[in-house]
Structure 1
Amino acid sequence: MDQSVARVQRAAEAGGAAAVEFLRALIRLQAEGEAAVQGRVAEACAALGCQVERRRYRPAEVVLKDEFAAEAAMATDQREAVLARLPGAGGGRSVIFFAHPDGEPFQPEHGWMHDPLAGEVDGGRIHGWGVADDLAGVATMVEAIQVLRDAGLRPKGDVILASTPSKRHARGVHALLHGGVAADAAVYLHPAESGIGMREVKALAAGQLIFKVIVPGRLPATNEPGHAAFAHVAVNPVDKAMVVLAALRALDARRGERVHHPALDAAIGRSTNLLVGDIRTLGDGRASRVAPAVQLFCALSFPPGEKLAAVQAEVEAAMAEAAAADPFLRDTPPVLHFLSGVTGAEVPLDHPLWTATSEAVRLGTGQVPEINPLHTSSDIRNPMVQSGIPCVGLGPLCGDLTQNGGRDEWVDEADYRRGVAVVAALIALWCGVEPAG
């Protein structure tokens, strides 16, 4: 083993308890708000010798490539990203590590067994609001720099740390990328939701299109409060929604036959899917009245290589075809709203970033990592799509995520500590290191 990596591993082991305490401190600071968390991150990075900026931006003003979100889906307040640069000694490759400090909106009636803002450690798990989504990622990149410092090493290439808001299309990393931040590679640090922790690397993110379809009906010509007796002279939007659903199923089937990606086909036997995730009437919910319309919420996943605009065009064509084939919908067509869309991206297995990441994980866990290609719309796409910077993602074992309806969100303590060691080793392998001072 390279002596530098061995020094990193020894320093990570010695500093493991302190790394846990830093993460717990970030969890507790959430009681004071996101600005307090970002302030602590900036303070820690400055103490490690980083050049720190705190950049303010408005998500709606960030211009994106091959991505969009409807205004109603976006965060509107001005946000702040913490950007910390550790200058390299020279002669090495640079890297951006990024993670997001913002989590799901706090719910006072949370029903947790553990205090969500205390950072309790119980049974080898660190519990806390947002600990897995994504305070552990933020803490990992800061503590990895601490490990290098404790090991007496300095990277040859620049290391950039970015604590950037992400939830609700906050677009923090986008703002930095389009604001001139660049490097030879990027790494998204986020705990692994799939159950194998640091043995997993995200190297492929499928794209995703979110849309809704409002299918109209026609009320019966009556002032009676009940419509059951007049149902035969109404147009029930539930019936017309079946027409639209059939068109969406047909589109899904055509795409499933035509669109293929080897990694996705191997993992789940299919490379694209169209999910109708929610159906609701836009009436008052009474069984005795015809609703004016039915609303369908849909998500369509598509592999890297497909263009977002082309996928949108396919959905538009399918809706137009469905309307043209139905006498009522021909005159009163469904209304299609695209709510958000992101483009997929991937890092090939022969890329030097994958090689360095795989080796860092192997050294830190004793096992060669697996690639999970099923993280649809993962933030690893952002540096690749927006700036052409190769990017992978990794993070420790976690569970009970609040965003998935879970309680007592947690990160595995031992795997978090391993994660710090892996990231520090990755800096050594990718950027190169030399003795400090």
Structure 2
Amino acid sequence: MDGPMTSVAARVDEAAEAGGEAAVSFLRDLIRLQSGGEAAVQARIAAACEQLGCIVETRRYSPAGVVLREEFASESAMAAEEREAVLARFPGSGGGRSVIFFAHPDGEAFQPQHGWLHDPMAGEIDQGRIHGWGVADDLAGCATMVEALRAVLAAGVVPKGDVILASTPSKRHARGVHALLHGGVTADAAVYLHPAESGIGMREVKALAPGQLVFRILVKGRLPPTQEPGHTAFAHLAVNPIEKAMGVIAALRALDARRGARVHHPALDAAVGRSTNLLVGDLKTLGDGRAARIAPAVQLSCALSFPPGEKLADVQAEVEAAIAEAVAADPALEVETIFLSGVTGAEVPLDHPLWLATHEAVLRGTGTAPEINPLHTSSDIRNPMVQSGIPCVGLGPLCGDLTQNGGRDEWVDVADYRRGVAVVAALIAGWCGAE
């Protein structure tokens, strides 16, 4: 790095350090404002961006009305209500590369009987961790992008390329960033800001996201010809869907084995020894639970991960063919397959300028070269790449006990959050160029 850029980077680092306490206060504000609903959080983000000199607009949209590429979700899996995205643009001085930073302000639905030890709406700090509902999923991401731009400007640095901040709903296929991308928002690169669940925080970069197909198979039974409340004596005259479900599971296991032997991606193979997996995550009988009754049906809930390069439609066709083969082999087997959602994988090559700029910013901010975690199946980094061909990486601070994973007292490490603001500020200066 030449002398002038070294000076810029040092000034940005100093500004991020000086603004660290204010950055934590801003994140605590977002946690507290959740009691007023998502609109209150979005209004605070919009106001903060306006104070930084951004051109701010809000865009309302219907998730079901956003037309997608290589992605789908059933109505039962999708958010139905109209939503609002906040879009803030800080115009560059010219001659630099532009970037979109995006994060989601919506978290899991609040549960009054949460069992937390800390007040989920207070932003309490305890032993170096800030606790709050949605703090790690993804209020810290929203706060990071605002505070990083604040640090750049506080350093007296003007980005040459446009810096776009987007606070976009995401939960339950809310499709906020999709709506902006298909609504004409574009840039030379994108960065998804979300705390890292894997335990290494800012030392991790998401640069590869496998795709995922989620589906449900309803295996139907046939009750015995009796009005007796108990079915045990008549069981041989029934079709037991539990037994039939075992055959469907066997067919899915065979498909998984074939795919595991055929489908390979070097990063995934190196990380876990496989590049695709088919998981039967839940089996549920749709009866009344009595031992002496035949259940009318069994429901299998399944997910299949697949690497970048595979087409979603091709993977879906493989699943359909495997189930069709099972049905053809057993005349008594009756099933209904429901595809709930599907997303396509994507990745950024390690020689891409965005990866190199991100690597440099993380190395500068943490003192350690970043690691790529290729196992964030269906990560939102895929959205700019699949929907608009915009290269995208993801990063964020150390976190834990996420509510979406059944945890309590969700938290983000305060020191790593502050470190993340400095890393993202350095990335703005390095990617966009600076005056």
User: What is the 5 A alignment of 1:109-128?
Assistant: 109-128=113-132
Say yes or no: does 1:426 pair with 2:427.
yes
1:234 corresponds to: 238
1:320 corresponds to: 324
For 2:377, the aligned partner's letter is T
| Structure 2 portions without partners, runs of 5+ | none
2:166 corresponds to: 162
Say yes or no: does 1:350 pair with 2:345.
no
1:369 corresponds to: 370
User: What is the 5 A alignment of 1:179-328?
Assistant: 179-328=183-332
What does the per-residue CA deviation read over 1:4-35, in whole Å, with 9 as the maximum and x for residues that have no partner? 01000000110000000000000000000000
| Structure 1 portions without partners, runs of 5+ | none
1:9 corresponds to: 13
For 1:162 and 1:383, the matched residues in 2 are separated by 12
1:152 corresponds to: 156
2:380 corresponds to: 379
For 1:391 and 1:380, the matched residues in 2 are separated by 6
For 1:188 and 1:194, the matched residues in 2 are separated by 16
Query: 1:120 deviation in Å?
Result: 0.4
Match of 1:143 among 147, 151, 164: 147
What does the per-residue CA deviation read over 1:113-159, in whole Å, with 9 as the maximum and x for residues that have no partner? 00000000110001000000000000000001110111011100000
Question: Secondary structure in 1 aligned to 2:300?
Answer: strand
Say yes or no: does 1:103 pair with 2:104.
no
Q: What CA RMSD, in Å, does the superposition of the two structures yield over aligned residues?
A: 0.5
For 2:169, the aligned partner's letter is P
For 1:3 and 1:190, the matched residues in 2 are separated by 29
For 1:66 and 1:214, the matched residues in 2 are separated by 25
For 1:44 and 1:238, the matched residues in 2 are separated by 56
Query: 1:249 deviation in Å?
Result: 0.3
Identity of aligned residues (%): 81
For 1:384, the aligned partner's letter is M
For 2:374 and 2:76, the matched residues in 1 are separated by 30
2:393 corresponds to: 392
Question: Secondary structure in 1 aligned to 2:158?
Answer: strand
Count, aligned residues: 431
Question: Secondary structure in 2 aligned to 1:433?
Answer: coil
For 1:288 and 1:394, the matched residues in 2 are separated by 53
Match of 2:135 among 131, 136, 140: 131
For 1:287, the aligned partner's letter is A
User: What is the 5 A alignment of 1:10-89?
Assistant: 10-89=14-93
For 2:79 and 2:238, the matched residues in 1 are separated by 40
Question: Secondary structure in 1 aligned to 2:242?
Answer: helix
What does the per-residue CA deviation read over 1:80-132, in whole Å, with 9 as the maximum and x for residues that have no partner? 00000000000000000000000000011100000000000110001000000
1:335 corresponds to: 336
For 1:278, the aligned partner's letter is D
For 2:318 and 2:336, the matched residues in 1 are separated by 15
For 2:415, the aligned partner's letter is A
For 2:309, the aligned partner's letter is G
Question: Secondary structure in 1 aligned to 2:215?
Answer: strand
Query: 1:52 deviation in Å?
Result: 0.1
What does the per-residue CA deviation read over 1:381-408, in whole Å, with 9 as the maximum and x for residues that have no partner? 0000000000000000000000000000
Query: 1:334 deviation in Å?
Result: 1.0
For 1:127 and 1:243, the matched residues in 2 are separated by 46
**TM-score, scaled to structure 2:** 0.99
For 1:339 and 1:79, the matched residues in 2 are separated by 21
For 2:306 and 2:194, the matched residues in 1 are separated by 22
For 2:306, the aligned partner's letter is F
Query: 1:210 deviation in Å?
Result: 0.2
**TM-score, scaled to structure 1:** 0.98
Question: Secondary structure in 2 aligned to 1:368?
Answer: coil
Query: 1:304 deviation in Å?
Result: 0.2
1:360 corresponds to: 361
For 2:153 and 2:256, the matched residues in 1 are separated by 52
For 2:229, the aligned partner's letter is P
Query: 1:343 deviation in Å?
Result: 0.2
For 2:233 and 2:379, the matched residues in 1 are separated by 51
For 1:344, the aligned partner's letter is G
For 1:399 and 1:72, the matched residues in 2 are separated by 29
What does the per-residue CA deviation read over 1:202-251, in whole Å, with 9 as the maximum and x for residues that have no partner? 00000000000011111100000110111111110111001101100000
For 2:19, the aligned partner's letter is G
2:94 corresponds to: 90
What does the per-residue CA deviation read over 1:150-180, in whole Å, with 9 as the maximum and x for residues that have no partner? 1011100000000000000000000000000
For 1:71, the aligned partner's letter is E
For 1:204 and 1:406, the matched residues in 2 are separated by 26
* Runs of 4+ off more than 6 Å: none
Say yes or no: does 1:402 pair with 2:403.
yes
Query: 1:285 deviation in Å?
Result: 1.1
Question: Secondary structure in 2 aligned to 1:283?
Answer: coil
For 2:171, the aligned partner's letter is K
For 1:214 and 1:45, the matched residues in 2 are separated by 48
Query: 1:327 deviation in Å?
Result: 2.2
